[in-house]
């Protein structure tokens, strides 16, 4: 996440296959459903307002995570929490 925060870019799970170019996408995530987002691919363009907000929010979630929880707090969970904050209104 820190590399994406500093430089932007795309990250893929090792079992992901890209069939079309990702060049036209800026900040995006490939998810299975909107409840518990299983992230297989996501990209961040830190030169955009949303991309910068997204990575800054992810870094804040990581910084505020209790050190005892690091092993259970996967990046998918961080991204899910941030996308829900930025994109969805939760009841």
Q: Is the pLDDT confidence value at 56 over 90?
A: yes
**How sure is the predictor about 71, in pLDDT bands with cuts at 50, 70 and 90?**
low
- Which helix (H) or strand (E) element contains residue 23? none
Which sequence spans correspond to the domains of the chain?
1-89
Question: Cα–Cα distance between 80 and 91 in angstroms, integer?
Answer: 16
Q: Are 33 and 88 in contact (CB under 8 A)?
A: no
Average pLDDT, the chain: 79
What percent of the chain stands above pLDDT 90? 7
pTM recorded for the entire structure: 0.71
Decide: helix, strand or coil at residue 69.
helix
């Amino acid at each position: 996440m820190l590399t994406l925060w500093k430089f932007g870019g795309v990250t893929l799970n090792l079992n992901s296959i890209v069939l079309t170019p990702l060049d036209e996408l800026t900040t995006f995530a490939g998810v299975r459903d909107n409840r518990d987002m299983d992230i297989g691919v996501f990209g961040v363009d830190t030169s955009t307002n949303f991309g910068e907000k997204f990575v800054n929010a992810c870094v804040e979630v990581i910084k505020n995570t209790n050190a005892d929880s690091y092993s259970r707090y996967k990046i998918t969970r961080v991204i899910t929490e941030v996308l829900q904050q930025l994109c969805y209104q939760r009841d």
